[in-house]
Every structure is written in structure tokens, then in C-alpha cells.
Amino acid sequence: MIIFALLSEMTEKNPAAPVPDPEQWHAYFGNILRVRFPQYTVKEYVPVPELTGDIDDIFRLYRERPDQVYRAEWGRPYDFVLYSGGIARTAVMLGHDHCHNSNVKYLISKMFAKKLKVPYIGFYTKFPNREDYVVGRISEQLGSIEKGDA
């Protein structure tokens, strides 16, 4: 709880405050999701194949490389997935320390979420991500799902 209080205080008083390490961000987001979205089951570090199921599916990321294909298991696990009635409603990813290899893993995860029609929301940990902002973005996405817009 001390971490959450410090992060909350840090971002409220100074929006340009230093970014905490990724593990602190993960705990911060996990707390927000569990407290502010209690109607959803929140799972952490969900592998892409857990959403896709046992499929032998591949796809191409780059038009200029038609022979280069990617599989679901090569994607980066989703940091959080919100479930309702056993159905994935939203995948949340925290982005930090991007390089080409990690970007490809994010793209694979994002493309499979899109293919499955599971909304994908990315947050970059280099930004403050105040609780009200996080809740607003996720609520907006979940609201679109309920209306059938997503």
C-alpha cells in the first residue's frame, strides 16, 4: 500500500516526477484495475495463446517481408486482461524500454487482440498515468464494448 500512496502522491504533486521501475507500475495498475473495476476478473501476465486458444495461426506484420510470419506464442504476454463471464473484455499493456525485438512482441500481441476483437489499451510508463486518466481510458473502452462499438 505504501507504493500506491507514494505513486499517487508523486504524480499528483509533480506530473513530471521520475518514473518508477516497471514492477512498481505493474502493482500500481493492478491495484487500480482491482479497486475501480471490481465487476471484472483481472488476470495478470496472460500469454497470447491463452486468448487465442490452441490454434496454428500465423500472420504477417510487414508487407515488405511477405515470407516473415509470426505466431501467437511469440507475442508478449498481456500485462492485464479484464474478463466478464469468462470472456476477455480488454487487454492492457504497459510499455517501457522499447527496442526492435520488444516492439515486435508488442505488435504480435496487439494484432492477435485485434484479430480476436479484444480491445487493446497501451499505457507508456514514461508518462504519469494518474489514476483518473487510467480509469477514464479503460472505462471509455469498456463502454464502447457494452454499446457494441468496439
pLDDT in tens, 18-60: 455 656 889 999 999 999 999 999 999 998 888 877 665 555 5
**Looking at the 3D structure of the chain, how many domains does it have?**
1
Q: Full-prediction pTM beyond 0.75? A: no
pLDDT of residue 21: 63
**Rounded to the nearest 10 degrees, what angle do helices 131-147 and 22-36 cross at?**
50
What's the grid cell of residue 124?
507508456
Report strand pairing: 120-124 vs 87-95. Answer: parallel
**pLDDT value for 116:** 85
Distance CA 13, CA 122 (A): 24
From CA 39, how far away is CA 49, in angstroms rounded?
24
Rounded mean pLDDT of 129-140? 93
- Would you state the pLDDT for residue 11? 46
Greatest mean pLDDT range, 48-62, 72-86, 90-104: 72-86
Q: Which domain holds residue 48?
A: 2-147
Tally the residues of the chain: 150
- Give dist(CA 53, CA 39) in Å, integer: 24
